[in-house]
Amino acid sequence: MTASDFGAALPRPKRDLLPIFAPLIVAAIAAPFIGSASSFVTLTAAGVAMGMMIFTMASGLTLAFGMMDVLNFGHGAFISLGAYVATLVFTPLASWAQADSWPLNLALLALALAAAVVVCGLFGLVFERLVIVPVYGQHLKQILATIGGSIVAEQLLYALFGPDVIALAPPASFRGSFVIGDAAIEKYRVVATLVGLVVFVGLTLALNRTRIGLLIRAGVQDREMVEALGYRIDRLFVGVFMAGAALAGIGGVLWALYRQQVHASMGGELLVLCFIVIIIGGLGSVGGCFIGAILMALIDNYAGFLAPKLALVANILLMVAILLWRPRGLYPVGGR
Amino acid sequence: MMILSGPPPRGRTLQTLIVVVTLALALAPLLFPGAKPLNVAAKVCVYALLGASYDLLLGYAGMVSFAHVMFFGVGSYGVGLALYGLGPSWGAAALGLAAALGVSTVLALAIGLLSLRVQAIFFTMVTLAVSYAFGVLASQLDWLTGGEDGRSFRVPEVLQPGFRLFGGPLFGVAFNGRLISYYLVFFVSLALFLALLRVVNSPFGRVLEAIRENPLRAEALGYRIVFHRTLATCLAAAGATAAGALNAVWLRYVGPDTALAGSIQIAILVVVVIGGMGTLYGAVLGAAVFVVAQNYLQALLGALSAGAADAGLPLLTGLFHPDRWLLWLGLLFVLAVYFAPAGLVGALRSKDEATP
């Protein structure tokens, strides 16, 4: 009997497609208010790029919660750390960034991303051992400990890198815009979207096509059952947590180059967006997190264009609307 | 009538400390003359009230909220903008406070009803998002709030520094408007603290504790969890709003740095956790320790930093920089969460109970 026979015997899970159309509906509603087609294309491209970056940061957060009920309020520190690591890579290799050759520029970006993955992954391990392990399973203490950990981490970043904003320009060939008709799409946003897509596809494949991914998904659904079958889910969790920290680092690098500046306060601001996204998506759901990120970023950009002061309020209203529609988020996971 | 409802603070050292802190605050203008000590004392009062109302949520209901600073800001801006727009009268202050209480209650109701239906963790995340958005909104609506600059305003005449109560000094202390302002802050804080004490020792407070300990069982006994938690959120919000109003009147200024900064939320958490969760008295001790530390720790760190610079240790110079005082407080906070979850109050109690 092969694995596919088992699959055939089971009833197919019902596909819930409605949330997937939500971003399209939002775009369709916003289009007439924005008016010009070129602005609409620019804003939509910006929204998709922003959504990809937020998804990269938030995916680890939602998986860690799904597996071990660990909601890490120190996740923002990983994002900031990734951004600072990018400055450490970009400063000595400034000539690579200045050179107008895209292979060299791409190599620099890849190097920065790799450095962020290594540094943030290791920091994630340290953070997990020092801050989270002593308070496993105690919700209140865990929230408080990770808040404390994030305060300490942010202050350490200030102490190490100084309290000032550090400027960080993207490599030469990623500056400027592609112009299609009247619409201008910044090149860097395309790059960020592509990196985000690679992360999303990689994560989806890893979760759906590998044995470890299967165990992770099973752990999110029902941790005790997986433990009962003899798997050390706490060890698996360490890996997921480190991967989440590394992804946050990637997101931090991308975001810093997008905003062209680095500051330790960025982690806290982005954490708020990450929380909105994982609430919208459903705690523990990677697919929901992806749709939620795109949805939130689109609304953020449309609202930022139509009523700049209300962009964040629009996000809150989106969250309220989604929670009224589906109290557990777009894709509720397991018993949550 | 009992002024202190419910059990008094157990343990002799703790009782003594509470009495000492309360007396020191009551007699602060006589004991420590000067503008800075009076500022410190007023801040201790405000933070004690802020911490006590937060403890209702954190210690008794077992919920972590990030929106406490938002309610504090609503109170500050409500009273501040009313006095700024309508002129320095008690009527304007009352109107501002009433409006602020209304806004706070509506916000607290909305947050509670929206996020508590599913899981307590939603509440924490939603409060963080709403509070952050509110802060950004307040600094952007500059036609109303004065933006980043905030608003300076005049307070009713009795509270103005130029006002003299008895014409001349009495017992060597000038009874001017600042002193009256201080006693307004002190007595309102004291009254509301006693009211909160009454709340946590009421049947309602007991139910909150039951829900914290075992939500399923409490629900099985027939207590509606969402109702109790939402009511606790509203009560805590009202307390924070009052604290914000007092703070605005004391500072005669309202702005993002004094009313809505994220560091205020951290301060509230530190006050309650270091003081001792679930005790209310902990908030008083925590506030005293925190505010004094904030005012005098920076000087100490500055000295250490200069020492490290002389010794040629650049990393230590950075770590001891006076602006990094939150680093040390954060470390203390994490250690308190791990090793002393009952905070100062718990430590003092166990010390006394070990040696009867």
**Pairing between β-strand A261-262 and β-strand B253-254 as defined by DSSP bridges:** unpaired
Single pTM value for the model: 0.90
Q: What is the DSSP letter of A170?
A: P
Query: By the 8 A CB rule, do B82 and B143 touch?
Result: no
Residue carrying structure tokens 């290791």: A122
Does the pLDDT value for residue B315 go beyond 80?
no
Question: Largest Cα–Cα distance of chain A, in whole Å?
Answer: 63
* Percent of chain B residues past pLDDT 90, beyond the cut: 54
Q: Do B266 and A151 touch (CB under 8 A)?
A: yes
Q: Is residue B101 part of a domain?
A: yes
Phi, psi for B152 (deg, rounded to 5) = -95, 140
Q: Do B132 and A131 touch (CB under 8 A)?
A: no
- CA A45, CA A188: separation in Å to the nearest integer? 11
**Predicted pLDDT at B75:** 97
Mean of pLDDT values over B207-213 = 93
Q: What is the pLDDT of residues B43-92, one digit of tens each?
A: 999 999 999 999 999 999 999 999 999 999 999 999 999 999 999 999 99
Q: What is the pLDDT of residues A223-240, one digit of tens each?
A: 888 899 999 888 888 999
CATH of the domain at B262: 1.10.3470
Q: Do A275 and B125 touch (CB under 8 A)?
A: yes
Q: Is residue B4 part of a domain?
A: no
In a 10 Å sphere around its CB, with 0-12 CB exposed, 13-18 middle and 19+ buried, how is residue B251 labelled? buried
Residues in chain B: 356
**Predicted pLDDT at A118:** 97
User: Predicted ipTM?
Assistant: 0.87
- CA A200, CA A59: separation in Å to the nearest integer? 9
A vs B, Cβ pairs < 8 A, gives 106
Q: Do A275 and B266 touch (CB under 8 A)?
A: no
Strand partners, B176: B164
- CA B202, CA B209: separation in Å to the nearest integer? 11
Q: What is the pLDDT of residues B16-38, one digit of tens each?
A: 889 999 999 998 888 888 888 89
Residue from A275, A280, A317, A330 whose CB has the most chain B CBs within 10 Å, to mutate: A275
Of B124, B262, B324, the CB nearest to A155: B324
Residue type, position A156, single letter: L
Q: Do B129 and A276 touch (CB under 8 A)?
A: yes
Of B119, B129, B324, the CB nearest to A159: B324
pLDDT bin (cut points 50, 70, 90) of residue B294 is confident
Query: By the 8 A CB rule, do A73 and A147 touch?
Result: yes
Q: Is residue B155 part of a domain?
A: yes
Q: Do A135 and B124 touch (CB under 8 A)?
A: no
Q: Is residue B235 part of a domain?
A: yes
Q: Residue B64: give the domain boundaries.
A: 12-354
Q: How far is CA A204 from CA A60, A210, A216, A292, B79, in A?
A: 13, 10, 12, 16, 52
Of A275, A286, A283, the C-alpha closest to A319 is A275
Mean of pLDDT values over B298-317 = 80
- CA A256, CA A271: separation in Å to the nearest integer? 14
**Predicted pLDDT at B1:** 41
Query: By the 8 A CB rule, do B33 and B40 touch?
Result: no
3-state secondary structure chain B: CCCCCCCCCCCHHHHHHHHHHHHHHHCHHHHCCCHHHHHHHHHHHHHHHHHHHHHHHHHHHCCCCCCHHHHHHHHHHHHHHHHHHHCCCHHHHHHHHHHHHHHHHHHHHHHHHHHCCCCHHHHHHHHHHHHHHHHHHHHHCHHHHCHHHCEECCCCHHHCCCCECCCCCECCECCEHHHHHHHHHHHHHHHHHHHHHHHHCCHHHHHHHHHHHCHHHHHHCCCCHHHHHHHHHHHHHHHHHHHHHHHHHHHCEECHHHHCCHHHHHHHHHHHHHHCCCCCHHHHHHHHHHHHHHHHHHHHHHHHHHHHHHCCCHHHHHHCCHHHHHHHHHHHHHHHHHHCCCHHHHHHHHHHHHCC
**Predicted pLDDT at B188:** 96
- CA A235, CA A228: separation in Å to the nearest integer? 15
Distance of CA A303 to the CA centre of its chain: 21
**Predicted pLDDT at A155:** 92
- CA A314, CA B150: separation in Å to the nearest integer? 24
Please report the residues numbered 24 through 43 in chain A whose beta carbons come closer than 8 angstroms to any beta carbon of chain B. Answer: none
The C-alpha of A300 sits at a distance from chain B's nearest C-alpha, in angstroms, of: 12
Phi, psi for B280 (deg, rounded to 5) = 60, -50
Query: By the 8 A CB rule, do A182 and A167 touch?
Result: no
Q: Is residue B108 part of a domain?
A: yes
Q: What is the pLDDT of residues B215-251, one digit of tens each?
A: 999 999 999 999 999 999 999 999 999 999 999 999 9
Residue from B121, B274, B277 whose CB has the most chain A CBs within 10 Å, to mutate: B121
Q: Is residue B7 part of a domain?
A: no
Helix or strand or coil: residue A177?
A: strand
Number of domains in chain B: 1
| Alpha helix segments (H runs only) across A35-167 | 37-68, 75-90, 94-98, 102-127, 139-161
Consecutive H or E run containing A240: helix A233-259
Strand partners, A261: A167
Q: What is the pLDDT along chain A (336 residues), one digit of tens a residue?
A: 445 555 455 666 667 788 888 888 888 888 888 888 888 999 999 999 999 999 999 998 988 888 778 889 999 999 999 999 999 999 998 888 888 888 889 999 999 999 999 999 999 999 999 998 888 878 888 999 999 999 999 999 998 898 899 999 888 888 888 888 888 888 999 999 999 999 999 999 998 899 999 998 888 888 888 899 999 888 888 999 999 999 999 999 999 999 999 999 999 999 999 999 999 998 888 889 999 999 999 999 999 999 888 888 899 999 999 988 888 888 887 654
* Percent of chain A residues past pLDDT 90, beyond the cut: 52
Query: Sign of the CA dihedral A320, A325, A330, A333?
Result: positive
| Torsion angle defined by CA atoms of residues A326, A329, A333 and A334, in that order, rounded to the nearest 10 degrees | -50
Question: Largest Cα–Cα distance of chain B, in whole Å?
Answer: 66
Q: Is residue B3 part of a domain?
A: no
**Predicted pLDDT at A8:** 55
* Cα A29-A31-A33 angle, rounded to 5 deg: 90
Residue from B125, B211, B212, B216 whose CB has the most chain A CBs within 10 Å, to mutate: B125
Q: Do A139 and B121 touch (CB under 8 A)?
A: yes
Q: Is residue B5 part of a domain?
A: no
Q: What is the DSSP letter of A187?
A: H
